A and B are shown apart, each in its own frame.
Chain A
Amino acid sequence: MATTAMPVGSSTAPHEYENSGLWSWLTTVDHKRIGVLYLYTSLFFFIWGGMEAVIIRAQLQGPNGQLVSAEMYNQLFTMHGTTMVFLAIMPLSAAFFNFLIPLQIGARDVAFPRLNAFSYWVYLFGGIFITVPILFQLAPNGGWFGYTPLTTRAYSPGINIDFWVIGLQILGVSSLAAAFNFITTIINLRAPGMTLMRMPMFTWMSFVVQFLVILAFPVITIALVFLLFDRFFGTNFYTVAQGADPLLWQHLFWIFGHPEVYILILPAFGLVSEVLPTFSRKPLFGYPVMVYSGILIGVLGFGVWAHHMFSVGMGPIADSFFALSTLLIGIPTGVKIFNWIATMAQGSLRFTTAMLFAVGLVALFTIGGISGVMHASPPADLQQTDTYFVVAHFHYVLFGGSIMGIFAGIYHYFPKMFGRLMNERLGKWHFWLNFIAMNLTFFPMHFSGMLGMPRRIYTYDGGQGWDTFNFISSMGAYMLVVSTSIFVFNFFRSKKRGEVAGSNPWEAGTLEWSIPSPAPEYNFAVLPTVSSRYPLWEGNEHDAESARINAQEGKTPAQLNIVLPYSTIKPLIVAGSMVLMFCGLLTTIAVTMIFAAIMVVALYSWLLSPLEPEHH
């Protein structure tokens, strides 16, 4: 193995960003800093959504809980789901898209740096827009899926659902803008020699996810437009009394909603596909098959949506079709599980915290996958639907899968982001407590669900066999608070005082580990060349030479004659005025007009100003 000489754990302190004041963060167009902004914001929302879950679990800890009212409970479970899906897991993935994709493919930045900043600010402002109402007990209360006719004006007259409808539209803008950006980046900004079939698996899975975003989000956009028009202008899209199809919303929502499931999980799959080979000291087993199975999951993901709707009575032909397509999608997913296991087989394993979380994903996602196959069968699903069994299932795939994978990614890439290692001892405490607590919380839900406990009830009577299971679930949830607190403590402590990492602390093989930690603002001093999937493990002399140059610290862009984009506040202004323009829908049309005007002016100013200084 031709490993290039990388300084591991060098003694000098990592360099700081030269310009790190607040203004520099508001105006940054650097994909790495935007990635860090995404990371902080989404971790905040992850904790926020977690606290909502803790209140839910406290309410359900014993029979006839009185902690919150039924109305507040509805707002809590709606916002818990909405927050975790749109404000925590998706943007946690986006933090890695931003930070990693350009580094993994050998690019200086994303294709459209200012659009990237715009995506982040829209996400932040949209997140605030949809989150703040719960402080006034005005939060959305129709579930994260917002089924009509419950969410139409007739049955939800308050402002609550308006926040949800408009908030999701805003967040959709952010996801779509980011997806166009990353698709272009991956297609067009790969370093010489970085062919598609040499791309790191995280970049590959991100690539698939961006296509899911651009094809699935327009569908929810339209579904939400119909709902918005119904609520504001009195149209009839969801008015059954006018002949509307009562299932229209469900179909449109799940045509978006099921690809959304893969939007949430595939980035985590990508992250563990980076972690497992590194700590097994082996290339990923069956790389091409991993690529194809990822693509296949993405394609099939558009053909399974109605398995969320078996109980509505679509008839045997539709039920059979969606049962079969759902069983089919288990195959490429299973292929991934086996390939990860084969990657570890006979490797020289190092159980760092990142590795533990990655192995945790393989184990826990498998449990969630198997319960998923169980309700692929319509007769079984009819027993399980709307019970805690389903809650157990999707928390195993989203917490056991996505969140575990994202934690693996955070421990793995923390040194590249901040130049220091996270504390391994605290990391292992975090992992084991998290692993035990996660199972303690969600495994009993399989039983309470099978015993008939419905989802979304704010309280229940004792003596139905659910009491013990609910008690255990709640204890697990409190334990998750402890484990997450350890993580937060570790994160901030390590950022200040962690061991200095050096460019390649894990002796990994992909391009992002060839450059100093934290990555310099221009990423690569010279554009790297690539002749294999793991350039730092098995690259030729040319690759090694570019990696050697890129590993050098302390060069300024001017010394290297690298042109960087200007910092600019304009994307923030456009994003802010766009969100305020949407706020106008809830207040007066004048607000909408004023901020629309500001947005247009700022947008033209952005489009007519150059991205970067002229190249000499």
Chain B
Amino acid sequence: MSAPAAHHYTSTGLDSRKIAIWAFIGSECMLFVSLISTYLIYKGKSLVGPYPHEAYTSPTGQTFPPILDIPVTSASTFVLLMSSLAMVLALAAVQNKEVPKHTTGDRILGSSKLWLWMTALLGTTFLGFQAYEFTAFVNEGLTIRTNLFGSSFFTLTGFHGAHVTAGVIWLVSLLAIDYRRGLGPNDALNVDLAALYWHFVDVVWIVIFTLVYLIQ
């Protein structure tokens, strides 16, 4: 968010921050690869339930149904995917800030505040779903200490949730700048960086949703 230093010579012609964010995303890939691999290695290794996809009856006769709620998580996944769409529109709005707007549709599409708000709200809604899911699991008897599934599931999805939270804070910071002085084409790179990060976090969720929820 510092002042753009476009006047500096660069070898590639790209702004350095763009290269740095790609290096950062590459590094983040290894972070999630480690988390997801551990989840998969521990899949089916828990000695006690609740389990993700199978019912479990404890030695004391207590029964636990399969714990993952795929319809609810499908809804939250849809919300997160839509937030990426809103993010694309927010970036386009910032880039085209100086293009004249003629119709109401132009003005709606051209509102960076609207689409940044939308992205942040959809992200927050996803986090709300996650908070609901975590609470429900704890009520159903699965905590981070219960078994290997609990440890690896909460850590993996919790790390992802923390990334979404960081993204929402980033978006709100951009909104604050937008309200203070207005985001224009000169700020497009700053929004672009946030967008790259946001899309990355989104893609990671698609991998998690597929591997953790959909594949039994």
Contact = CB atoms under 8 A, between A and B. Distances in A.
B152 A237 contact: yes
B57 interface: no
B42 A180 contact: no
A469 interface: no
Interface in A202-253: 214-219, 221-223, 225-226, 229, 233-237, 242-245, 248, 252
Contact of A229 (B3, B11, B19, B151): B151
A492 to B, nearest CB: 37
Given A243-B46, A243-B47, A111 B31 contact: no
Contacts of B150: 235-236
A607 B3 CA distance: 9
Interface in B15-48: 16-17, 19-20, 23-24, 26-28, 30-31, 34-35, 38, 41-42, 45-47
Contacts of B80: none
A179 B155 CA distance: 26
Interface in A591-616: 604, 607-612, 614-615
A188 B16 contact: yes
Contact of B34 (A112, A219, A234): A219
Given A243-B148, A248-B41, A217 B5 contact: no
B120 to A, nearest CB: 17
B16 to A, nearest CB: 4
Contacts of A235: 144-145, 150-151, 155
The binding surface of chain A is classed by DSSP as helix
B14 interface: yes
A244 B150 CA distance: 12
A374 B57 CA distance: 52
Contact of B9 (A221, A234, A527, A609): A527
Contacts of B14: 188
B209 to A, nearest CB: 20
A531 to B, nearest CB: 15
A169 to B, nearest CB: 13
Given A611-B3, A611-B5, A180 B20 contact: yes
Contacts of B31: 218, 221-222
A187 interface: yes
Contacts, number: 121
Given A214-B23, A215-B30, A245 B41 contact: yes
A111 B20 contact: yes
Contacts of B155: 225-226, 229, 235, 237
Contacts of B144: 229, 233-235
Nearest to B24: A180
Interface string B1-17: 11101010111101011
Interface string A387-429: 0000000000000000000000000000000000000000000
- Sorted nearest first, the 6 A-B pairs with minimum C-beta distance are A218-B31, A222-B34, A235-B151, A218-B30, A111-B16, A214-B27
Interface of A: 111-112, 176, 179-181, 183-185, 187-190, 192, 194, 214-219, 221-223, 225-226, 229, 233-237, 242-245, 248, 252, 527, 604, 607-612, 614-615
Given A235-B151, A244-B42, A611-B5, 4 more contacts: A111-B20, A222-B31, A604-B173, A615-B7
12 contacts: A192-B9, A221-B31, A223-B34, A226-B155, A234-B145, A237-B38, A237-B155, A242-B46, A244-B42, A245-B45, A252-B34, A609-B2
